[in-house]
């Protein structure tokens, strides 16, 4: 097993006497790896007791310490603001359910160590208009060009989490069962651990997490943060998870096999203590964990990569050429890549300069917002070697 994975697992499993014989550069690689999975705060917090003194005096340590402190401060400020939004939605009669996010964070030893960049909430279609008024009142911008057929996107004018407001939990083409699943979620929601907001009931929440993870497994990747979230949640809620119902949910989504294997990974590598009564082949389970460990949260923790690449452009060595870098790297894409983003170009390639012009205008007026959106699309971090045999095996259902 890769030493970076081993080191991260020691932190996640809170091993009392971990192996820590690493060079300064290896510590740096481990921290970078943890950050790619959105777990740098957990990793740093755990190893504080085990970092060698000479490493604590190094530039590498000082750099990471600064990043962690900034991340923790930003997380606390963003969560406070997000909770204000949730409280205001409830005050205005909008029944909103928090999906993962700060609910998952509540199961961490230190909730602030769970990093994220957005808040996902689920509400009934009929409440969208009232929710929109609340977001406008609280200085959020509805970014309509980022909306999808299952969610609306709201960005804060100031720093903080952006909101993905779901009016459907999954795209309709995923399964005929998606609408019934969403209706059931609204009918059976419960209050969070602290009683301040609504969350999915445990069995349905576990099913949702698994289906969401399966979707990302075949798309942008799960990552160890997703698996860690699941392990912590089912460990805490296993007495309240109805295994028969969970089997039924996953079966209707045609994801029972993959869901069972993900749960097996969570138990085998993160001691979740909860598995389904399903035959698991060791080789496939180990290979699946290898795929998860290499992919990162939503593809090497998408939001982390976005932030890092933005900082390189906006504040790094290219600062003087920031605008030029924006244009060259993310605006003037070649025709084959532009066709993937603008279907009209498949029939009318001569329109390419027109769409380049549209992208220039968008960068000028909404540079960071659109830059984030384009970087998210342009990251090729999923071009990794996977156990194709394992993927084929899991997709058989």
Q: How far apart are CA 67 and CA 63, in angstroms?
A: 6
Q: How far apart are CA 184 and CA 97, in angstroms?
A: 12
* Residues found in the chain: 397
DSSP one-letter code for 14:
T
78: Cβ contacts below 8 Å, ≥ 6 apart = 159, 160, 161
Q: What is the mean pLDDT of the chain?
A: 84
Q: How far apart are CA 288 and CA 136, in angstroms?
A: 43
Q: How far apart are CA 61 and CA 57, in angstroms?
A: 7
Predicted local distance difference test score (pLDDT) of residue 330: 57
Q: How far apart are CA 333 and CA 378, in angstroms?
A: 10
**Nearest residue to 207 (alpha-carbon basis) of 259, 279, 270:** 259
Helices (H), the chain: 3-12, 24-36, 40-47, 53-56, 59-91, 102-105, 128-137, 178-188, 202-217, 224-237, 243-252, 256-270, 282-295, 302-314, 322-326, 335-341, 352-365, 367-378, 388-395
- Is 288 or 386 the better-scoring residue by pLDDT? 288
Is 60 exceeded by the pLDDT of residue 250?
A: yes
pLDDT one-digit tens code per residue, 189-239 = 999 999 999 999 999 999 999 999 988 887 667 889 999 999 999 999 999
Structural contact between residues 327 and 360, judged by C-beta atoms closer than 8 angstroms: yes
360: Cβ contacts below 8 Å, ≥ 6 apart = 327, 331
Structural contact between residues 202 and 189, judged by C-beta atoms closer than 8 angstroms: no
**168, 173, 177, 182: CA torsion to nearest 10:** 0
Q: How far apart are CA 36 and CA 29, in angstroms?
A: 10
Q: How far apart are CA 272 and CA 263, in angstroms?
A: 8
Predicted local distance difference test score (pLDDT) of residue 114: 95
Predicted local distance difference test score (pLDDT) of residue 159: 85
> Any bridge partners for residue 118, and if so which?
162
Average pLDDT over residues 354-358: 83
Q: Is the pTM for the entire model greater than 0.75?
A: yes
Band the pLDDT of 147: cuts 50, 70, 90: confident
Is 90 exceeded by the pLDDT of residue 373?
A: no
- Is 361 or 245 the better-scoring residue by pLDDT? 245
Is 70 exceeded by the pLDDT of residue 315?
A: no
Which tokens hold the place of 180? 């019934």
- Ranking 272-276, 352-356, 357-361 by mean pLDDT, the lowest is 357-361
Which tokens hold the place of 301? 């923790």
**Nearest residue to 11 (alpha-carbon basis) of 45, 35, 36, 57:** 45
pLDDT one-digit tens code per residue, 39-60 = 999 999 999 999 999 999 999 9
pLDDT one-digit tens code per residue, 2-42 = 899 999 999 999 999 998 899 999 999 999 999 989 999 99
- Which residue ranges form the domains of the chain, and what is each CATH number? 3-57 (no CATH), 76-200 (3.30.460.40), 302-378 (no CATH)
Band the pLDDT of 331: cuts 50, 70, 90: low
């Amino acid at each position: 097993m890769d030493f970076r994975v081993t080191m991260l697992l020691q932190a996640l499993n809170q091993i009392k006497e971990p192996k820590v014989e690493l060079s300064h550069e290896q510590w740096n690689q481990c921290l970078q790896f943890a950050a790619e999975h959105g777990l740098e705060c957990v990793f740093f917090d755990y190893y504080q007791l085990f970092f060698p003194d000479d490493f604590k005096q190094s530039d590498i340590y000082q750099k990471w310490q600064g990043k962690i402190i900034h991340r923790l401060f930003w997380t606390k400020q963003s969560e406070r603001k997000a909770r204000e939004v949730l409280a205001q939605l409830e005050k205005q009669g909008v029944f909103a359910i928090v999906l993962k996010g700060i609910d998952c964070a509540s199961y961490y030893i230190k909730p602030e160590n769970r990093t994220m960049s957005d808040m996902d909430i689920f509400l009934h279609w009929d409440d969208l208009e009232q929710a929109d008024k609340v977001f406008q009142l609280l200085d959020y911008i509805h970014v309509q060009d980022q909306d999808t057929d299952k969610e609306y996107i709201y960005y804060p004018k100031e720093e903080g989490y952006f909101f993905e407001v779901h009016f459907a939990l999954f795209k309709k083409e995923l399964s005929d069962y998606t609408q019934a699943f969403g209706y059931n979620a609204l009918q059976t929601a419960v209050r969070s651990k602290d009683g301040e907001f609504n969350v999915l009931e445990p069995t349905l929440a576990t099913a949702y997490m698994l289906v969401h993870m399966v979707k990302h497994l075949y798309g942008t990747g799960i990552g160890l943060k997703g698996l860690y979230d699941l392990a912590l949640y089912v460990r805490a809620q296993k007495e309240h998870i109805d295994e028969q119902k969970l089997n039924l949910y996953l079966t209707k989504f045609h994801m029972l096999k993959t869901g069972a294997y993900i749960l097996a990974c969570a138990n085998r590598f993160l001691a979740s203590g909860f598995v389904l009564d399903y035959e698991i082949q060791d080789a496939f389970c180990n290979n699946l964990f290898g795929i998860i460990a290499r992919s990162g949260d939503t593809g090497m923790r998408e939001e982390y990569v976005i932030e890092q690449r933005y900082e390189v452009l906006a504040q790094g060595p290219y600062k003087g050429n920031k605008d030029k870098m924006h244009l060259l790297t993310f605006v003037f894409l070649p025709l084959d890549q532009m066709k993937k983003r603008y279907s009209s170009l498949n029939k009318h390639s001569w329109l390419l300069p027109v769409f380049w012009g549209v992208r220039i205008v968008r960068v000028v007026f909404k540079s960071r917002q659109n830059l984030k959106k384009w970087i998210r699309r342009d990251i090729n971090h999923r071009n990794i070697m996977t156990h194709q045999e394992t993927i084929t095996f899991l997709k058989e259902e």
